[in-house]
Amino acid sequence: MELKSVSVNNDFDNYDLLKLVDQGGCSAKLSAVELDKALAELPKVTNENLLVDIETHDDAGVFKINDNYALVLTTDFFPPVCSDPYDFGQIAAANALSDVYAMGGQVLTALNLVLFPANIPMSVLKDILRGGHDKVAEAGGVIVGGHTIADDIPKYGLAVTGWVHPDKVITNAGAKPGDVLILTKPIGTGAIISAQKINLAEKETYDQAIETMKLLNKRASEIMSKYSVKCATDITGFGLLGHALKMATGSDVSIRINADSVPAIDKVLDLIDLGCIPGAAFRNLEYVENDCSFDKSVDYNHKMLLLDAQTSGGLFISSPRQHADNILKELKDSDYPESAIIGEVTDKTEKYVNIH
């Protein structure tokens, strides 16, 4: 990816990071297909205290310290996903912290990961770091340091350490037939950012996407943990269907999703209809197509929405049926009014994920 020509003026408050990149946020992830090939060559790690590793493609690693504490370890960084540097810092931090919340953990510390060009003013980097600092502080954690590298494209994220009780770890491999599937945030951020780059997104739609990405999954994690949920993941670069597939394969079940029930950011389907579909959606299609079935009633635009790469997406919770209504009510009454029940877990069928 080459640095694009951007006129730098003295009005740094209006510096548009989005003009620097072709793909930003989690849309810049490697293809899940290619990533699986690389990971398959790694030797299997064995340690009696390693509770969660890459075996199930989970959100974070979990390492047991003693009978009461286990560390939750994760990292995430990416190119800009929005125009404003401060917003970018907040979103990148919220995205990195989300992996801890998906595992049912609490945030302890974070390290800044920074790649930054020499030809962009340091005031821009300061705003990015300030956004990250404020979001980590909101999460109740502290940034204790970091590392910087000169690069052609700015990239920012965090290496995060959290903790969880060893008996209360939530993974993406614990879904049970009969569970109800809940999504806590609307999707569509990838398509909206793609539209924003070519000035097709309405301000209200873009602003909603930014606020959605900045929202921490902290409270959602606390709610699901209260009801002893055993299985969840967060929706990021592999799209709703990619992460649903990882949950289904990790749990050896099938997942049934009602496309019309999936919450979407306002006007995103209109933007998809105009062709605002990032390349990541097609990479995600390649990853899931052999293991997913689509009912004829699911149109092309909905299909692309379900494949859209999300940045700092919501939690995808596999809840025991008896707790689902209470979890949903508490989510809606807190920070996640657009939370919705979008499907269910079934016994394994021919396909891992079935969309109707």
The residues annotated with a catalytic role in the active site are 26
Cβ of 234: how many Cβ atoms within 10 Å?
A: 28
> How many Å apart are CA 112 and CA 338, to the nearest integer?
31
CB 78 within 8 A of CB 24: yes
> How many Å apart are CA 346 and CA 352, to the nearest integer?
9
SS3 180: strand
Cα torsion angle, 31, 32, 38, 42, sign: positive
Give how far Cα 4 sits from Cα of 1, 124, 140, 152, 237, Å: 9, 17, 37, 9, 23
> How many Å apart are CA 83 and CA 213, to the nearest integer?
13
CA dihedral 42, 48, 51, 53 (to 10 degrees): -10
